[in-house]
Amino acid sequence: MGIWLGLDVGGVRTGIAESDPSHKMAFPNCTQATATLLAYLERTYLPSDVAGIAVGLPVNLQGQETDGSQYAKKVADSLRALWPDVPVHFTDERFTSKLAAQAAHAAGASQRVKKDKGKLDAAAAAILLDSFLTQLHSK
């Protein structure tokens, strides 16, 4: 069955989240440099262990793609070439970084944690993966 991965792709780094085996919950995992993301995924996961990948697609308030969308699309294309049998889906990532920062603040995280963009990117990946899994289960 495998787990789902959630990717919050950026020009510099990508936040990575994983689902639980039942695909009900998402958890922040880590952050990787976007330039080395595919090598990291290939080194860390077997395609048979991955049920699918949700890639956050940056869009503006009107639902139109942004400058950051190119990074997400490039990564998705590379993932499809790397693991052709693993489904790759785009999911709206509006506000995930802001929600991750708000959650850190609400949890009483220190200023150091709040400014750690890597941790926030992984948390944003978990938020977008959780949203995707919720939509997947409501179908």
Q: How many CA atoms lie within 13 A of 74 on its CB side?
A: 13
pTM, entire model: 0.84
pLDDT in tens, the chain (139 residues): 799 999 999 889 999 999 999 999 999 999 999 999 999 999 999 999 999 999 998 877 777 777 778 899 999 999 999 999 999 999 887 655 655 454 554 444 445 444 556 577 888 899 899 989 988 887 6
| CATH topology classification for 3-138 | Nucleotidyltransferase; domain 5 (3.30.420)
The residue among 136, 38, 54, 51 whose CA lies nearest residue 92 is 54
Q: Which amino acid is at 31?
A: T
Beta strands per DSSP E along 10-46: 13-19, 26-33
Q: Which phi and psi (to 5°) does residue 58 adopt?
A: -70, 125
Q: Characterize 8-32 residue by residue with b for buried, 16 or more Cβ atoms within 10 angstroms of its Cβ, and e for exposed.
A: bbbeebbbbbbbeeebeebbbbbbb
Task: Name the residue ranges covered by the structural domains of the chain.
Answer: 3-138
